[in-house]
């Protein structure tokens, strides 16, 4: 299955000739593709995935019932077809026959129910349990038919089912392995796990029994290379086949290399400075707005990123359907920033810490250092702390340790509901802002039941306007995806939700 996600802007989704043009070389079977990424997977259990680099590996091993094609249409995955009851509460899915998990367990309605029940079980401890909470009951109708019932009409239901957290696991493996499933995953996908040395590399092998079109490649190696420059040098030397997060400063060099191709594609991710609303001094709206006026996103995009990326004020990328377009960044105004700080009792400035990832986002360290310098100009001294990705996410999840942080917010489903619930709803598992607003919570719940598209858009607009006013985060830019690959690599697919598919990739 070719997993894709649609975008509302023109994108190169089928990259490097996923389907060869007339007269082009036919796909060649065999070989290993080496993919260099900035951060390692944190788990291989879909129900515990909270970041995109992890999802990229996990979703070569697992699959969902449905997915979205290039035009944003929900299309069959492990489910061949579906229907919804007149009251919009029960969704019935007809499942593919003859599909087996990597361990030989048959894929059927009981397997779907088992996966969803596991995700919803509080004892499982999934940080993404909320992604399935609309499901009140999973019922096996027959071996190849499953019915999912919601308590109320749920507008984004099908989009939600495309999320990687709702991928289907082998019930045999899940019961046998328990927490060890995280390192020994068993799905139905085109690749299966061969080996994993955390922090170094993860190797996936071709699933020779895959139900769909089988991969051309024998193996895909995910190699962890945190430093941007090192990834580029390895690509130029032919040590790796494809790399993520090409630093903009290296674009000209790669464009001039004879054996390398470059892709620039818009995405769903927003890069922002998060402010913990329950940690002083950012519990004061005046201080949060002072930060917003101190930061100059345009200068960062032009000076640090070389014009790669777009600026805007809304927390949601304008590439996502339903995102509020036209919100400008807060005016860069150091004088206004200083005035607000003085009103909040910080006329002499303040000291804080700014936490950064390294290698996760486009030039994340350099962007953070630019923000640090801009804050310094208004009297905010921010000490940079840069733990590894796993330590950073663990600290963020504690919600009390980190006052200010550079992070990114994407959209696995291309629907605003999932990220609004996780990131901005009171108690959301990725609400590292500690943001809480009863009106926003009410509106988030309301938009889920709004089956009329125009009505739902109005509610989503009000939510986004409220977030803009209360500044739980200062938007720096909307990330542009930059990949580089050897010219011998064909058939790789890059999507606006930042997933990368090697299912149809091959090497000349």
Residue (of 275, 268, 276, 46) closest to 173 by Cα position: 46
Q: Quickly state the pLDDT bin for 497 (edges 50, 70, 90).
A: confident
Under a CB-based contact definition with an 8 Å cutoff, are residues 269 and 477 in contact? Answer: no
Provide the pLDDT for residue 379: 98
| pLDDT tens profile 378-425 | 999 999 999 999 899 999 999 988 999 999 998 888 899 988 999 999
Under a CB-based contact definition with an 8 Å cutoff, are residues 274 and 404 in contact? Answer: yes
Q: How many helices (H) and strands (E) does the chain have?
A: 14, 20
Look up the pTM and report it.
0.81
pLDDT above 60 for 296: yes
Q: How much of the chain is in helix, strand and coil states, percent to nearest 5?
A: 30, 25, 45
Provide the pLDDT for residue 23: 53
Q: Where are the domains of the chain?
A: 268-480
pLDDT above 70 for 314: yes
Provide the pLDDT for residue 483: 93
Find the mean pLDDT for residues 339-352. Answer: 98
Q: Is the omega angle on the peptide bond into residue 357 within 30 degrees of 0, that is, cis?
A: no
- Please name the residue that has the structure tokens 């080496």: 34
pLDDT above 60 for 15: no
Output the CATH code of domain 268-480.
3.10.105.10
How far is Cα of residue 426 from the mean position of the Cα atoms in its chain?
20
| pLDDT tens profile 87-117 | 999 999 999 999 999 999 999 999 999 999 9
């Amino acid at each position: 299955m070719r997993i894709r996600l649609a975008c509302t802007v023109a994108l190169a989704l089928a990259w490097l000739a996923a389907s060869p043009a007339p007269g082009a070389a036919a796909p060649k079977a065999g070989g290993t593709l080496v993919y260099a990424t900035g951060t390692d997977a944190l788990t291989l259990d879909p129900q515990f995935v909270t970041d995109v680099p992890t999802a990229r590996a996990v979703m070569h091993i697992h699959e969902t019932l449905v997915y979205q094609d290039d035009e944003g249409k929900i299309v069959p995955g492990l489910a061949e077809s579906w229907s919804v009851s007149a009251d919009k509460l029960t969704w019935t899915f007809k499942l593919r026959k003859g599909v087996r998990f990597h361990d030989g367990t048959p894929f059927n309605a009981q397997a779907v129910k088992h996966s969803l029940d596991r995700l919803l079980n509080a004892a499982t401890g999934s940080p993404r349990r909320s992604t399935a909470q609309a499901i009140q009951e999973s019922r096996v109708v027959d071996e190849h038919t499953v019915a999912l019932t919601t308590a109320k009409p749920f507008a984004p239901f099908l989009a939600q089912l495309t999320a990687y957290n709702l991928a289907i696991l082998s019930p045999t493996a899940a019961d046998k392995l328990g927490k060890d499933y995280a390192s020994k995953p068993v799905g139905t996908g085109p690749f299966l796990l061969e080996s994993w040395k955390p922090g170094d590399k993860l190797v996936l092998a071709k699933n020779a029994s895959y139900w769909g079109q089988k991969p051309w490649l024998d193996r895909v190696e995910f190699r962890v290379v945190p430093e941007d420059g090192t990834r580029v040098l390895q690509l130029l030397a032919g040590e790796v086949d494809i790399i993520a997060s090409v630093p903009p400063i290296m674009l000209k060099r790669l464009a001039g290399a004879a054996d390398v191709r470059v892709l620039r594609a818009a995405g769903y991710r927003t890069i922002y400075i998060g402010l913990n609303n329950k940690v002083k001094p950012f519990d004061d709206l005046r201080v949060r707005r002072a930060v917003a006026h101190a930061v100059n996103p345009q200068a960062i995009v032009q000076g640090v990123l070389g014009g790669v990326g777009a600026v805007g004020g809304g927390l949601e990328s304008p590439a996502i359907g339903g995102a509020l377009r036209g919100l400008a960044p807060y005016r860069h105004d150091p004088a206004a920033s200083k005035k607000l700080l003085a009103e909040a009792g910080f006329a002499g400035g303040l000291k804080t810490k700014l936490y950064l990832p390294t290698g996760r986002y486009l030039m994340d360290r350099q962007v953070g250092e630019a923000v640090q310098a801009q804050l310094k100009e208004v009297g905010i001294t921010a000490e940079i702390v840069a733990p590894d990705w796993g330590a950073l996410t663990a600290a963020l999840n504690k919600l009390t340790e980190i006052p200010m942080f550079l992070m990114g917010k994407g959209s696995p489903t291309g629907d605003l509901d999932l990220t609004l619930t996780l990131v901005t709803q009171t108690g959301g598992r990725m609400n590292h802002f500690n943001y809480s607003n009863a009106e926003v919570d009410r509106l988030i719940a309301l938009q889920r039941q709004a089956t009329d598209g125009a009505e739902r858009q109005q509610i989503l607009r009000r939510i986004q306007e409220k977030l803009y006013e209360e500044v739980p985060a200062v938007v720096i830019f909307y990330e542009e995806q930059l990949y580089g690959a050897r010219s011998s690599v064909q058939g790789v697919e890059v999507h606006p939700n930042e997933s990368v598919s090697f299912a149809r990739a091959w090497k000349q």
